[in-house]
Amino acid sequence: MEIKFLADRPEFIPLISNWYYSQWGQFMRDQTEQKIHDRISGMLNRDKIPVHILALEGDELLGVAQLKIREMDIFPDREHWLGGVYVVPAARGRRLATVLVTGAIGLAKQFKVETLYLQTEDLSGGLYAPLGFRPLEKTHYNGVEVLVMAHSL
């Protein structure tokens, strides 16, 4: 398996847009798959946030994660976020999400991020707690109860 930047493989934007819309579209205000596609297309970076990283096996895309700016508008003071961690169902259970999250943390460190935040529907902290994220608070966001977590880098 290889980790690559989406900027190096932009042909995957339509597939990722579909994944994100299918997984989280019902929670995103006024979003369409096309709007997600357009937003992702504007984030093709390698050296700054926002940035997407991909898990590839040959030419097959197995997963994605992103570093973003101010994901939750209810927390304008929390700048850097990990989000959009998605692994295809057939590849789950292979620790790909852990590899993607670890890669994103490494990038955040390179970009001199001091604190990385995330939100998860897994109120136990799921895969993020063993990777250094600590719970901050539970809140309702876009009609869903989520746990907001932080990782000091």
**CATH number of the CATH domain containing 41:** 3.40.630.30
Residue among 23, 100, 14 nearest 65 (CA): 100
Mean pLDDT of 35-62: 95
- 138 domain-assigned: no
Greatest Cα pair distance, the chain, in angstroms, is: 40
Rg (Cα) of the chain, in Å, rounded?
A: 15
- 31 domain-assigned: yes
- 72 domain-assigned: yes
The reported pLDDT for the residue numbered 142 is 83
- 140 domain-assigned: no
- 149 domain-assigned: no
- 148 domain-assigned: no
Provide the 8-state DSSP code for 121.
S
* Dihedral (CA of 103, 109, 111, 114) sign: positive
- 121 domain-assigned: no
The reported pLDDT for the residue numbered 99 is 96
- 57 domain-assigned: yes
CB 127 within 8 A of CB 118: no
The reported pLDDT for the residue numbered 120 is 95
Per-residue pLDDT band for 143 (boundaries 50, 70, 90) equals confident
Count of domains for the chain? 1
Domain that holds residue 43: 2-111
Mean pLDDT of 69-83: 94
**Residue 15 above 90 pLDDT?**
yes
Q: What is the pTM of this model?
A: 0.92
Mean pLDDT of 29-48: 90
| Amino acid in position 78 | R
The reported pLDDT for the residue numbered 31 is 81
What is the rounded CA–CA span in Å between residue 7 and residue 25?
A: 23
What mean pLDDT value characterizes the chain? 94
